[in-house]
Amino acid sequence: MADFPIAGANVRVAYGWEAVAFGTVATSIDKAFSQGVKLSDFSIDNSVEYVLGCGSQDAQKSVCKEFKGTWGVEFVLSDPWFLRAILGAAPADAGATPFTHTYDATAGINNVQTSMSIDLSFDLDTDSHQILLGCIANTMNLTCAVGEIVRVRLGGNFANMTKDTSMLALVAAVEEPFSFAAGSLEVPNATTIPDVQSVEMEFNRNNDFVWGLGSRHAQKNVSKERAWNIRTNVTYERDAYFWDHVLGGSGAPAAAPAEVATAELTISNGLATSDMRKFVFLFANVRVEKGSITPVEVGSVVKQDITMRARTLTSVVVSNATETAL
């Protein structure tokens, strides 16, 4: 049979936690990242070095050094379990429907990140089934905007991989997609900012893979400094909401602007009791770094672009119908 091109409809994606050791294939690869998943990055770099020597203008040899892989997925927010990849460890489960799953500063937001095995299947004439091993999430971007569904970008590195010709069974997301229609932003916590147009969170773990003698594959991962960044666009209605925080005071720029104690982003389906589904991101020690007021013209609504950074991500609390985190 002749070979044929494929589209994304012929690709399957799933992941599982590597419980045995970094780079050892997960026992169960049975989780969908969320609804509407797209594979945005799958790249391999053999770190080739060409060897030049006297007698020829052309390279005389080439050497493959470290194996380096990068991965990235994009999806619509629904299932929450991918959070463990960027935050560190499993959450604490509690309650009854809706159950709560709390990623907190002492348990879930860990210095050591849980590695994943990401399973990719390409439905070719001869199927290509590839499992990326030692996958570490380095960055997460979550974007909410008025009139939009909530979108997530997750990406990082992988240390090794395996490949065969079997085909992964389709793994479907469970929860429904979220929009920002029932969302809210509070700065500080319990002070709701009105008419928020958009919020973007960026989490960066600044990871480094460690290579050692005896293998061209990474053997360990080191998570270094963490950054929790928040950007928002809001209508300009009151100085106290953001502009006074930019200045550090209500009358003039302060000599030493104070941090805001807390900030909280809530993403909800707007329902109640057992039908309620929700994500609540709580930050502490929030610095309002930058602010701008634009555009200022007769034909436009005046808005503020605000950039913040939190020193602490206190907790992420997820409410849904699943009793035990996956």
Q: Is the pLDDT of residue 108 over 60?
A: no
Provide mean pLDDT across the span 278-297: 96
Residue 285 structure tokens: 């020690």
Q: What is the pLDDT of residues 224-283, one digit of tens each?
A: 999 999 999 999 999 999 999 999 999 899 999 999 999 999 999 999 999 999 999 999
Alpha-carbon distance of 55 to 294, in angstroms, equals 63
Instruction: Give the chain's mean pLDDT.
Output: 95
Q: Read off the pLDDT band of 105 (50, 70, 90).
A: low
Three-state DSSP state, 112: coil
Alpha-carbon distance of 91 to 324, in angstroms, equals 9
Q: Is the pLDDT of residue 94 over 80?
A: yes
Pair 234, 192: CB distance under 8 Å: no
Q: Is the pLDDT of residue 107 over 60?
A: no
Q: How far is CA 52 from CA 48, 57, 61, 63, 208, in A?
A: 13, 8, 7, 11, 30
pLDDT of residue 65: 97
Q: Name residue, tokens 């600044």.
A: 206
Q: What is the pLDDT of residues 151-189, one digit of tens each?
A: 999 999 999 999 999 999 999 999 999 999 999 999 999
Interacting residues of 3 by C-beta distance below 8 A, sequence separation 6+? 124, 125
Per-residue burial over 159-173, b if 16 or more Cβ lie within 10 Å, else e, is bbbeeeeeebeebeb
| Number of other residues whose CB lies within 10 A of the CB of residue 281 | 24
Q: Is the pLDDT of residue 1 over 80?
A: no
Q: Name residue, tokens 């971007």.
A: 141
Q: What is the pLDDT of residues 16-29, one digit of tens each?
A: 999 989 999 999 99
